[in-house]
Amino acid sequence: PAGNTDTFHYTTYHTLSEIYSFQDMLVAENPKLVSKTVIGQSYEGRPLNVLKFSTGGSNRPAIWIDTGIHAREWVTQASGIVFAKKIVTEYGTDSAVTEILNRMDVFLEMVVNPDGYHFTHTNNRMWRKNRKQNRGSTCVGVDLNRNWNAGFGGHGSSNNPCSEIYRGTRAHSEPEVKSIVNFVRSHGNIKAFISIHSYSQMLLFPYGYTRKPAKDQAELDQVAQKAITALASLYGTSYRYGSIITTIYQSSGGSIDWTYNQGIKYSYTFELRDTGHFGFILPANQIVPTANETWLALKVIMDHTFKNPY
Amino acid sequence: KGDFHGHQVFRIVPKDDVQLALVRVLEDILDLELDFWRWVTPVDVRVPSHSLQVVKTYLENHCIKYFTMIKDLQALLDEEQRQMKSIA
């Protein structure tokens, strides 16, 4: 195993325990900037770790980033590791990141679905959902991005436990979701919520469950365009952007629809790079380029959030 | 461990919403055990070996364009594991 976060292999995929070790190393190396909070436990009892990047203050306005709600989208969890390292290396060297962190906190949950992620390493690389045993069914797992209380149970989710988009028995029934819900509510000062997936090269904003435009649609659209322009500046990767329902399809019970309805204006979701050849099996040599280009877009959203308090 | 020998991933390119709807019909045929990786156009779907012929015939009968994005999923997974082990 790597001895520190400088020698850590960012160019390969890692097991859950390696990711948890990375988090502990990052905290140990940067005690004045990074701390770890356990916001709950997964269905199988694994800790739900969130890294907090903070330069002080109390309950500052904050930006939330999560990666890996869907287990098999390995490049998202891997990108989360890269983002964490970037935050600590760019604080003090990059003026935008420094200014943001001098006034705001950043929360990063690298593995939202640890049970599913572990399962992809040990049993089934193609697993998407969590590992909940569904009563009355032999099929396992709930799609955590259909379990939020935003149009829960509507079109674009399923009530069949055997479906990959099974929504669960009720909104927020899954501990992995409920833990974030509790955290967001108790914090009360989160200003941007960015949820990262792979793969379709898209940057999306609410809504997914209704065709009703978000009341901030014009601004969200403008920021998204700026963000994908920054992303493309590195390798020319082309992204589509827009609301979920108009850009992909109707999708109910998704995370950013819920956060937007909670008043978090800057709610976005990414679908990371797609080379058109590998899908979820994106080769590991694509991790760092993917994370690097995404980081540029993330910084645009973070910077806009910082400069447009509400 | 999951065995994906013989599984292929098709990239399907419906020319319009009618063809897209015809592709999505496949999702409801549970016996096929299809795994949709991506629902937007182009649609990517993992097809187990036992369903390959049925899906190909269906797409061809409806003149829906597709190509094989991943010919041997297990080979890619084996390579991914090999790389992880070599670095470890």
B77 with A281: Cβ contact below 8 A: yes
pLDDT at A1: 65
CB contact (8 A) between residue A279 and residue B40? no
Taking the CA of residue A105 and the nearest CA in chain B, the distance in Å comes to: 33
C-alpha A175/C-alpha A172 separation (Å) is: 7
Contact A118, A46 (CB under 8 A): yes
Closest residue of chain A to B10, computed from CA coordinates: A277
Residues of chain A whose beta carbon is less than 8 angstroms from a beta carbon of chain B are 9, 11-13, 122-126, 162, 164, 199-200, 247-249, 274, 276-281, 283-284
**Which residues, in sequence order, are bridge partners of residue B67?**
B11
CB contact under 8 A, A126 and B46: yes
> Is B2 in Cβ contact with A123 (below 8 Å)?
yes
**Residue B49 buriedness (CB in 10 A; 0-12 / 13-18 / 19+):** exposed
3-state SS assignment for residue B74 = helix
Q: What's the pLDDT at B27?
A: 86
Chain A residues in contact with B35 by the CB 8 A cut-off are 126, 164
Contacts of A299 (CB under 8 A, 6+ apart): A96, A97, A230
Task: Write the pLDDT tens digit of every residue in A46-85.
Answer: 999 999 999 999 999 999 999 999 999 999 999 999 999 9
In terms of phi and psi (left: phi > 0; alpha: psi -120 to 50; beta: otherwise), the region of A74 is: alpha
Q: What is the sign of the dihedral through the CA atoms of A254, A257, A262 and A264? A: positive
Mapped onto helix, strand or coil, the DSSP state of residue A64 is strand
State the CB neighbour count (10 A cutoff) for residue B77: 19
Alpha carbons within 13 A on the beta-carbon side of B63: 3
A18 is an active site residue: no
Nearest CA distance, A233 vs chain B (angstrom): 25
Q: What pLDDT was estimated at residue B54?
A: 96
What CA dihedral angle connects A208, A211, A214 and A215, to 10 degrees? -170
Residues A251 and A243: beta-carbon distance below 8 Å: no
Tell me, what's the ipTM? 0.94
Asked if B80 and A13 come within 8 Å (Cβ–Cβ), the reply is: yes
Contact A195, A255 (CB under 8 A): yes
**Chain A residues inside the 8 Å CB shell of B72:** none
Q: If you average pLDDT over every residue of chain A, what do you get?
A: 97
What proportion of chain A, given as a percentage, has pLDDT over 70? 100
- Nearest residue of B to residue A119, measured between CA atoms: B1
Model confidence over A122-177: pLDDT tens digits? 999 999 999 999 999 999 999 999 999 999 999 999 999 999 999 999 999 999 99
Place of tokens 């850009």: A247
SS3 (DSSP) at B45: strand
Question: For residue A207, what are the contacts with CB-CB under 8 A and spacing of at least 6?
Answer: A150, A151, A213, A214, A243, A244, A245, A257, A260
Q: What tens digit of pLDDT does each residue of B39-88 get?
A: 889 999 999 999 999 999 999 999 999 999 999 999 999 999 999 998 87
- A196-232 pLDDT, tens digit per residue, is 999 999 999 999 999 999 999 999 999 999 999 999 9
CB A212 within 8 A of CB A86: no
Give the closest of A13, A200, A281 to B38, CB-based: A200
Residue A238 has pLDDT above 90, yes or no: yes
Q: Do B84 and A284 touch (CB under 8 A)?
A: yes
Q: For residue A295, how many other CB atoms are within 10 A of its CB? A: 21
